């Protein structure tokens, strides 16, 4: 008879980094792109931020926010792993 292992819970740092990355992609990145458009690309016209810059800003903002959220999240104790 085989035994089924219980799945381990997802750690808090992983959850926080996921939410931070997704939230920044949905909210913070468009806000940063709007500021860039207003400051450097004459915001009165249609958004003129070049597509490669949009991708780079999205990559940097999402990465920084995911890292920061995971860094500041509370550590999950894992006594089940033991010390090796």
> 37, 43 in Cβ contact below 8 A?
yes
Q: The dihedral of CA 67, 73, 79, 80: what is its sign?
A: negative
Residue-wise pLDDT for 1-60, tens only, equals 567 777 777 889 999 999 999 999 899 999 999 899 888 887 667 678 889 999 999 999
Rounded to two decimals, the pTM is: 0.76
């Amino acid at each position: 008879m085989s035994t089924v292992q219980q799945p381990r819970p997802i750690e808090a740092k992983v959850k926080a980094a996921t939410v931070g990355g997704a939230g920044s992609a949905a909210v913070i990145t468009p806000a940063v792109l709007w500021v860039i458009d207003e400051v450097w690309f004459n915001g009165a016209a249609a958004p003129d931020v070049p597509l490669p810059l949009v991708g780079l800003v999205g990559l940097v903002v999402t990465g920084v926010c995911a890292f920061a959220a995971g860094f500041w999240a509370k550590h999950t104790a894992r006594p089940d792993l033991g010390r090796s």
